[in-house]
Amino acid sequence: MAMMRQNPLPIGDYWVDVFAKDWTTFHAWLAKHQSTVQIRKLETTRIKNSDPPVDAQGAPAREGYLFHVSGPTKWQGPGFPIITPPDAFGADRVDTAKPLPIGRYWIDLIGEQRIGNFGAGVKGLNGAHPGIIRIISATRHVANDARDYAESPDLTGVLVALWETVAGNIQDTPERDWVLFEVTAPALWDFEVMGTPTIAAANVKAESDTVQRPAPEVDPTEKILAVVSDLGSVGGTAAKIGIGVLVFGIVGGGIALAVWSFSKARSVPHE
C-alpha cells in the first residue's frame, strides 16, 4: 500500500503505526482534530498496564490505528500514514449520514474534550428520549492504569456524572475512555461532536475484545512435540516407529559418544 505524503491529509482512510514514545503527541493530535478524524480500529502490542509500555518480548509497545479523515487535516506524524481501501473497515462501519440505528456499539474517546462531549451528548439524548442510550461497560485509562466499569442498572447515570466532572478533576484527567453502549431506538447522533462509534459484534463484552494483540510465542519444545504428534497422527504406527527409532538413535548416539570420550580420557598417559 502507498504512503500519503500530501499534507494536509485529504479525505480518505488511513493506517499508521505509533510506538510508545510518540503516543502522547499522537493522542493530542487525535484530540485536536476530533471533528475530522474518526478512529475505526485500534491494535496494540502492549502488555496491560506495563510501565514503560512494552510488548510480550519486552520491546517498546506499538499501537496501530485505522482511521478515517472526513476533511483536510494537517498531519504531524509519526512518519506518513498508509492509504487504505474504503472497504478495510468492513461491515462494522457506521453510516454517518443517517440516525444511529438500534444496536450495540463501541467507541474510543481520546482526550478530555471528546470524553466530555460524549457524556453531554448521551445526557442530552436520554433527556429527550429516556433510555435511548444505555452504557453496557467502559474502561477508563489514566496514566498507566486502567479501570473497568461493569454492567449495572445505574451505570449510564454514574458514567454521565463522571464525564461531566472530567474538566474540573485535574488529578484524575483520563487519557482515554473506551465505551460499549446500546441504542434502543434510532438516535439523532451528533457524529462531529460525539465521535463515530463502531458496530459491536455479539462477542464484544469489554475493551479487550476489540483490541487485537499478537498471539504469544510458542515454546520451541512445544513446537517439536506438536510436530511429533502430527506425524504420529498422520503416519500412524509406521510414523511412531520411525520417531521411536530416531529418538533411540539420538539417545544411543549420545551415550556412545559419552563412553568413547570417557575411554579416550583414560587411555591418555599421565605425565
* pLDDT tens digits along 32-60: 888 888 887 777 888 777 778 888 778 88
Answer for the pair 232, 246: CB distance below 8 angstroms, yes or no. Answer: no
- State the Rg of the chain over Cα: 27
Domain-terminating residue out of 44, 63, 90: 90
Same domain, 113 and 157: yes
Same domain, 144 and 200: yes
Same domain, 204 and 271: no
Same domain, 112 and 210: yes
Rounded Cα distance between 48 and 204, Å, is 18
Same domain, 169 and 266: no
Domain-terminating residue out of 214, 234, 256: 214
Q: How many domains does the chain have?
A: 3
Same domain, 263 and 176: no
Q: Which pLDDT score, from 0 to 100, does residue 47 have? A: 78
Answer for the pair 21, 58: CB distance below 8 angstroms, yes or no. Answer: no
Signed CA dihedral, 123, 202, 139, 197: sign only: negative
Cell of 108: 474510543
- Residue matched to cell numbers 506499538: 62
User: Worst-scoring range by mean pLDDT, 142-146, 183-187, 244-248?
Assistant: 244-248
User: Worst-scoring range by mean pLDDT, 27-36, 72-81, 169-178?
Assistant: 169-178
Same domain, 184 and 74: no
Q: Which pLDDT score, from 0 to 100, does residue 251 have? A: 46
Q: Which ranges of 103-145 would DSSP assign to H, the alpha helix?
A: 112-128
User: Which position has the higher pLDDT, 97 or 47?
Assistant: 47
Same domain, 164 and 124: yes
Answer for the pair 177, 139: CB distance below 8 angstroms, yes or no. Answer: yes
Rounded Cα distance between 141 and 147, Å, is 7
Same domain, 58 and 126: no
* Mean pLDDT, the chain, whole residue set: 76
Share of the chain above pLDDT 70, in %: 68
Say what the pTM is: 0.52
Same domain, 199 and 229: no
Which among 145, 119, 134, 117 is positioned nearest to 53, based on CA atoms?
145
- What residue numbers bound the domain in which 60 lies? 1-90
Q: Which pLDDT score, from 0 to 100, does residue 242 have? A: 54
Same domain, 62 and 108: no
User: Which position has the higher pLDDT, 65 or 164?
Assistant: 65
